[in-house]
Structure 1
Amino acid sequence: MIKRLPNFLTILRILLVPIFVALFYWGGEVRTFGATGVFAVAAITDWADGYLARRYQGVSPFGTFLDPVADKIMVVTALVLIASSGEIQALLAGILISVIIGREITVSALREWMAELGERNKVAVSWMGKIKATTQMISILLLVYERPLLGFSTRILGIALLVVAAGMTLWSMVGYVRAAWPSLMASGTHLDKEP
């Protein structure tokens, strides 16, 4: 039973997305406490499912596939909602969110390509990627919460952390590309060709 718990938590994270969206658009205290709480639960399950899968040998192909998908769905949804709310200056929001989402697409494609070559381990999640993800999650929590916290503006702190997360996003992406570059440039690398 406990070996299935990580997959359950991953599925739960996906099921929380429409609830998060509804609470975010509800606004007011429902957004402040409800949407923030739902995102916090999603962030905790992101950590918990990986920990439990490793701790109890519950790593499965299904979980390995679905876990990063669930993470990206929740994070991208939250970023798009924050950008569309107009609470961050449009140009800044556009740049930061384009960098973060663009990186996720690029690294996902890179990992898929390296898996085809049998060299996915070269682009395994790095410590920088984990720190980036944590910074990103905290910044989103602060931006969704939107109200002052302990006398600090959560918006200013959230934007500052999002800028840091975007910088780390680019840094970690460069690291992944550099690790994969010899394989990508190797002669004889097969390409899908149109018939």
Structure 2
Amino acid sequence: MLLSMNVPNLLTLLRIGLIPVLVGLYYLPYSWSPIAAGAVFAVAAATDWLDGYLARRWNQASALGAFLDPVADKLMVCVALVLLAETFAEPWMTIPAMIIVGREIVISALREWMAELGKRASVAVSYVGKVKTVLQMVSIFILISFDPYSVQSWIGVGALYAAAILTLWSMIVYIKAAWPDLTEDL
């Protein structure tokens, strides 16, 4: 276990540990709470990129990191989207949140199933997935940091819808890649 506790893995664990901090700050009744929660989300989003970069750069990739990194990403994004869906309490906010969370569940299950077949590489992260992730992170940061229904929050909503569209597109790409295996018994 100690061998797996390298800097990239510690950054991933930090990201998971920041989730309750984000939630706590989000609900504090102070004027500075939204920007503080947004800052925590921004730090977590930065560690998402940094842990992978350092793992590759320092040749410190590990099984623990390969497992924890996507878990940390999905937990942070899903928790943030639930907070935002509650805050806005409007279908137009719930729909993109539902699409993004639903896609994460579908693709996680698909990757696990494809790994069992020894074909995990056919559902590897794509460029569209990376752009989707950046848009998600930016939109969530904006939506957490600024007052609901402010000009900034509408920019965040627009970015969230763009992320939701890319989310659907990337899900279709992944399912299309796995389709021959999914329909093998038909």
Q: Which TM-score band (shorter chain)?
A: over 0.9
Structure 1 residue 175 corresponds to structure 2 residue 173: yes
Structure 2 counterpart SS, 1:29: coil
Any conservation in 2 of the 1:132–1:169 contact (CA below 8 Å)?
yes
In structure 2, how many angstroms separate the alpha carbons of the residues matched to 1:92 and 1:147? 17
Any conservation in 2 of the 1:36–1:144 contact (CA below 8 Å)?
yes
In structure 1, how many angstroms separate the alpha carbons of the residues matched to 2:107 and 2:159? 21
Structure 1 counterpart SS, 2:31: helix
Structure 1 residue 8 corresponds to structure 2 residue 20: no
In structure 1, how many angstroms separate the alpha carbons of the residues matched to 2:77 and 2:103? 13
In structure 2, how many angstroms separate the alpha carbons of the residues matched to 1:34 and 1:181? 43
In structure 1, how many angstroms separate the alpha carbons of the residues matched to 2:125 and 2:101? 17
The equivalent of 1:67 in structure 2 is: 69
Any conservation in 1 of the 2:38–2:145 contact (CA below 8 Å)?
yes
- Counterparts in 2 of 1:25 and 1:53: CA distance versus 1, 3 Å: same
- Counterparts of residues 133-144 of structure 1 (less than 5 Å): 133-144=133-144
The equivalent of 1:96 in structure 2 is: 96
Q: Kindly state the Cα deviation for residue 179 of structure 1 after the two structures are TM-superposed.
A: 0.4
Unaligned runs of 5+ in 2: none
In structure 2, how many angstroms separate the alpha carbons of the residues matched to 1:4 and 1:129? 26
Any conservation in 2 of the 1:136–1:161 contact (CA below 8 Å)?
yes
Counterpart residue identity of residue 53, structure 2: Y
Any conservation in 1 of the 2:41–2:141 contact (CA below 8 Å)?
yes
Counterpart residue identity of residue 123, structure 2: V
Structure 1 residue 109 corresponds to structure 2 residue 109: yes
In structure 1, how many angstroms separate the alpha carbons of the residues matched to 2:132 and 2:100? 10
Counterpart residue identity of residue 137, structure 2: M
- Aligned residues: CA RMSD: 1.9
- 1:56 corresponds to which of 55, 58, 62: 58
| Per-residue deviation, residues 116-160 of structure 1 (Å, max 9, x unmatched) | 000000000000000000000000010011159xxx811110000
Any conservation in 1 of the 2:36–2:145 contact (CA below 8 Å)?
no
Structure 1 residue 82 corresponds to structure 2 residue 84: yes
Structure 1 counterpart SS, 2:60: coil
Any conservation in 1 of the 2:80–2:140 contact (CA below 8 Å)?
yes
- Counterparts in 2 of 1:75 and 1:60: CA distance versus 1, 3 Å: same
| Per-residue deviation, residues 150-194 of structure 1 (Å, max 9, x unmatched) | xx8111100000000000000000000000111122249xxxxxx
In structure 2, how many angstroms separate the alpha carbons of the residues matched to 1:30 and 1:82? 17
Any conservation in 2 of the 1:139–1:161 contact (CA below 8 Å)?
yes
TM-score, normalisation: structure 1: 0.89
Structure 1 counterpart SS, 2:94: helix
